[in-house]
Structure 1
Amino acid sequence: MPLFGKEKKTKKEEKDHRHPSLEDKYFLKELLGTGAFSVVRLAESKENPGVMHAVKIIDKKALKGKEDSLENEIKVLRR
């Protein structure tokens, strides 16, 4: 244990305390479509094999400075 500051965690320890990633929950399949800031992929649930979902993956780097576009996109998807 270090005398000062926090103890450094290994990458595995950091990974264990984060939220599950998309790849942790789904097998990503073929590309269904593309847009200016995103792609839509077919995804199969790892928890329920055979259950398929369409997953929209938004490129946050491409949205930088255009956050209002993201808010509008979320409104459209919630309808």
Structure 2
Amino acid sequence: MALLLFLGGCSQKFQRGVKDFQSKWVGLERKVTVYSATGEPVGVYQGRIDIEPTEYGNKIKFAHDGKMVLIYNMGVVVEEVE
């Protein structure tokens, strides 16, 4: 039983590693929705999007259609789509 749990955990780590690699080098099909301070959607980006981590929590940076998008101080939801 312990072996099955161990292998299941390794499988999930492996799958996350594959997703991380794919995200970094190819980008994933994603939908990024940007919200105003009052909760209304103000922008939606969809396509093969590569999100770059930043050192601060108030900024998101990603490439969309060959252009760099920077969003500061906004609510953002990133969903992977298939």
- Give the strand-richer structure, 1 or 2: 2
Please give the TM-score of this superposition, normalised by the length of structure 2: 0.28
- Which structure has more relative contact order (CA 8 Å, sep 6+)? It is 2
Question: Which structure is larger by alpha-carbon Rg, 1 or 2?
Answer: 1
Please give the TM-score of this superposition, normalised by the length of structure 1: 0.29
